[in-house]
Amino acid sequence: MKKRFSEEQIIGFLREAEAGMPIKDLCRRHGFSEASYYLWRSKFGGMSVPDAKRLKDLEAENTRLKKLLAEQVFQNALIKEALQKNGERTGASCAGARVGRRWRQRALRPGSDRHERQCAVLSPARGPQR
């Protein structure tokens, strides 16, 4: 919903009421409800125009930072979930399908120590295959 009155106008209304204008007349004259007046008074009471602008800027920044934090928390949760799934799959594949004779022969070939290191990292309890 678009706001009809800016912070400067609202503070002006509050100043008029402080100067002694009856609230009902003020509301009728400018076209807003008494509930809006009391809400504005609780939010902007005692503020000057620069203070109100600063409050609005801080609220916008706070909202932006909360969104960024929520996105980061969500991304971290996705990464943790993906790492857990990857860890289970990788460990099972190393302990299962690659433990056969062909994998051992490949690991013994010259220049293939990469396979040995990979399996040693993934399943350190087994030790190197020979």
**What is the predicted pLDDT for the residue at 29?**
94
3-state secondary structure of 33: coil
**What is the predicted pLDDT for the residue at 79?**
92
Alpha carbons 79 and 3: distance in angstroms, whole number? 40
Give the list of residues 6+ apart from residue 122 with CB closer than 8 angstroms, or none.
90, 91, 94, 95
Tens of pLDDT, residues 92-121 = 455 555 445 555 555 555 555 554 545 444
Tell me the whole-structure pTM to 2 decimals: 0.47
**What is the predicted pLDDT for the residue at 42?**
92
Domain-wise residue ranges, the chain:
1-47, 49-90
Give the mean pLDDT of the chain.
Answer: 78
By the 8 A CB rule, do 80 and 49 touch?
no
Buried b (16+ CB within 10 A) or exposed e, 22-31: eeeebbeebe
